[in-house]
Structure 1
Amino acid sequence: MPKSISNSRYQIREKIFTISNNLKIKDQFGHHKYTVRSKPWTLDRKLTFEDTNGNALLKIQQKGFHLLDQFSILSARDGDLNQQLASIRQKFTVFKHSYKVYSIYGEYKLKGFDIFDRSFALTNKNGKTIAVVRKKMFAITGIYEVEIINSNNDKTQEDHAFILALIIALHCSLYCL
């Protein structure tokens, strides 16, 4: 009998009234899982994705000054420090935001559910949904509910920290100053 795999849920909460973009990520049980820190007063966006012990796992960096946003996700782990894991590029569109994501895990696309980009699905190039993201409408702070679709096959199970970093890079492209 195959074991039942449930989807993983996370809540990304942005701190308000801060100079930098600091985010806290909790799991569905309310346990702190990750912290994302940025340096205040910098012209470019550089964020560090850390585990609960403060160990850097990933870096999210904006690539220079472009008309359309471009981000890189780099490894911050010893042994493969600064290895590029993903490149995120905003595509030119008139009414909706559109992005191309190239990564070591494959290509990803965003499928928007609404005109205001408050909810979207992250899909792989085969159209399989990897994660569903919903931004709470009437919250004082920026709060995202993220559901990562888990798989029975360990080889296709996505790295949750990586998926969350992708979502944060997209958040920065849409909402960060």
Structure 2
Amino acid sequence: MKLLVRDRLLGIGDDYWIEDDRGRKVFFVDGKAMRLRETFELKDMQGRILVEIKAKLLALRDTMVIERDGEALAKVKRKRLSLLRNHYRVELVDGTELDVSGKILDREFAIEYDGEMLADISRRWLTVRDTYGVNIVREDADPALLLAVAVCVIRLAEKERGDGDD
């Protein structure tokens, strides 16, 4: 499944459709303004909230939390030791860990589980400016979760660089 995401998805209060590679609307991102912390909802075509993304308020390292049905699903944070490439760890509530690595700010990175690629995030196969693609490789993967992970690591990398203070 290939999805197209507008690059500046994460402005507070931004609302945006995520489309498939044929231009059909698949998901809706609802950026919530006027909240104490950054909050984004990823909704399906019927308006149901699939996941909610929140910046964690009290954490030693910048952390974002992905929730489903009001319950924590995953925590996303930068790995402590990552010298050459950006590395992020996604800790799912069931104990599963996903690894995210690559050139996050260039939108060229991968999401993996136990060495197996789940999704490839890239601008390589797109000609649309300010858009990146999320290619979900595994059929049994959770597209909403993988989109949320991509959004989180991009936001965390931008905040670390200092241009994420929208």
Q: Matched residues in 1 for 2:135 and 2:7: separation?
A: 17
After superposition, the Cα gap between the structure-2 partners of 1:54 and 1:130, relative to the gap in structure 1 and judged at 3 Å, is same
1:107 to 82, 97, 100: 97
Secondary structure at the counterpart of residue 119 of structure 2: strand
Match of 1:91 in 2: 79
TM-score (norm 1): 0.75
Higher Cα Rg, which structure? 1
Q: Matched residues in 2 for 1:27 and 1:115: separation?
A: 21
Whether the 8 Å CA contact 1:59–1:74 is kept in 2: the answer is yes
Match of 2:26 in 1: 33
2:121 to 133, 136, 145: 133
Match of 1:166 in 2: 149
After superposition, the Cα gap between the structure-2 partners of 1:138 and 1:158, relative to the gap in structure 1 and judged at 3 Å, is closer
User: 1:26-105 residue pairs with structure 2 within 5 A?
Assistant: 26-66=19-59, 68-75=61-68, 81-92=69-80, 93-94=82-83, 96-103=85-92, 104=94
Q: How many residues align?
A: 156
- Taking every aligned residue pair, what percent have the same amino acid on both sides? 24
Alpha-carbon distance, 1:83 to partner: 1.6
**Stretches of structure 1 lacking an aligned partner (at least 5 in a row):** 1-7, 76-80, 152-156
Deviation sequence 1:4-28 (CA, Å, 0-9, x none): xxxx100011468x65343321112
Q: Matched residues in 1 for 2:57 and 2:3: separation?
A: 30
Q: Matched residues in 2 for 1:19 and 1:58: separation?
A: 17
Q: Give every structure 1 segment of 4 or more consecutive aligned residues whose post-TM-superposition deviation is greater than 6 Å.
A: 136-139
Which is richer in helix?
A: 2
Give RMSD over aligned pairs.
2.7
Q: Matched residues in 1 for 2:33 and 2:129: separation?
A: 21
Whether the 8 Å CA contact 2:86–2:104 is kept in 1: the answer is no
Alpha-carbon distance, 1:95 to partner: 5.4
Secondary structure at the counterpart of residue 20 of structure 1: coil
2:3 to 10, 14, 17: 10
Alpha-carbon distance, 1:166 to partner: 1.1
TM-score (norm 2): 0.79
Q: Matched residues in 2 for 1:23 and 1:171: separation?
A: 16
**Stretches of structure 2 lacking an aligned partner (at least 5 in a row):** 159-163
Letter in 2 for 1:130: L
1:148 to 114, 118, 136: 136
